[in-house]
Amino acid sequence: MTAPLSPLPRQDFAYPFRVDSTSQQTAQATYAAHVEQMVRQLLLTSPGERVDLPQFGCGLRALVFAPMSDALAAAVQMRVLQAVDLWLAGIVTATNVSVLTSDEDAALEPGTLQVTLSYRVVETQSAASLTVVLP
């Protein structure tokens, strides 16, 4: 009796799209890294920025000039959750969004936001999180 073949680890295109210098082929990333790259792209893209998909993104950079308040944190959380549900449904499930302002943490540059999205990858059921700092 032979042992069953184990499936090959899933590979996807790396973001940003590029050519690997050693293989001279399209750069690849593990599935977990690919999902993280998609989440980062969603968080840092403003609607209207992509010509082919003008509604894509969270629009977090538009909130950078808003006054630091609880209302700002709530708006950021709402935008992130809505964008993840709209654009990454079936890929990730958001479990938590935390927003930290420079008023709350002296380690952050003045006037910055730190957004941490905790999520579960649907295909592997693995938990992950991603933090972005917006100036």
Per-residue pLDDT of the chain (135 residues; tens, 9 = 90+): 555 554 556 778 887 778 988 888 888 888 899 999 999 999 999 999 999 999 999 999 888 778 888 888 999 999 999 999 999 999 999 999 999 988 888 899 888 889 999 999 999 999 999 999 988
Residue matched to tokens 């008023």: 103
In this predicted structure, what is the pLDDT of residue 4?
53
Buried b (16+ CB within 10 A) or exposed e, 77-109: bebbeebbeebbeeebebeebebbbbeeeeebe
| Dist. CA 25–CA 19, nearest whole Å | 5
Amino acid type, 95: T
Residue 109 structure tokens: 């540059």
pTM of the entire predicted model: 0.83
Domain ranges (residues) in the chain:
11-134
- The fold of the 11-134 domain, in CATH, is Nuclear Transport Factor 2; Chain: A, (3.10.450)
Closest by alpha carbon to 32, among 131, 99, 123? Answer: 123
Amino acid type, 51: V
